[in-house]
């Protein structure tokens, strides 16, 4: 799993580095197909989903951890009218 995380971080850093070095010439950046897909999804949705990054058990564990933190430190959580937290 750490290899997946490292590869993902490496791809994101590569995209960031490439973009930072070519801000003025954004459309001339030479990205591979995977990097283009990631960038388009981020531009479209504001995030990118890596399918099957974690298995169901790991996801449930992380959800439980985040919910626990929100309950424990609820004074630091801001909620809007529909109870979406930030």
Question: Are 29 and 43 in the same domain?
Answer: yes
Tokens of 26: 């954004």
Tokens of 76: 């630091």
Taking the whole predicted model, whether its pTM rises above 0.85 is answered as: no
pLDDT at 2: 62
The total number of structural domains that make up the chain: 2
Question: Are 4 and 42 in the same domain?
Answer: yes
What's the CA gap between 62 and 67, in Å, rounded? 8
Position 67 pLDDT exceeds 90: no
pLDDT at 71: 80
Query: Which structural domain, as residue segments, surrounds residue 74?
Result: 54-86
Question: Are 6 and 41 in the same domain?
Answer: yes
Question: Looking at the DSSP assignment, which residues form a beta bridge with residue 85?
Answer: 79
Percent of the residues in the chain that have a pLDDT greater than 70, as a whole number: 79
Question: Are 47 and 62 in the same domain?
Answer: no
Closest CA to 34 of 53, 6, 14: 14
Position 80 pLDDT exceeds 80: no
pLDDT at 31: 82
């Amino acid at each position: 799993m750490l290899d997946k995380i490292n590869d993902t971080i490496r791809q994101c850093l590569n995209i960031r580095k490439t973009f930072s070095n070519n801000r003025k010439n954004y459309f001339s950046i030479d990205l591979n197909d995977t990097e283009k897909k990631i960038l388009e999804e981020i531009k479209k949705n504001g995030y990118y989903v890596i399918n099957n990054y974690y298995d169901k058990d790991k996801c449930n564990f992380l959800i439980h951890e985040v919910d626990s933190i929100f309950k424990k430190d609820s004074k630091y959580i801001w909620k809007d009218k529909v109870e979406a937290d930030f």
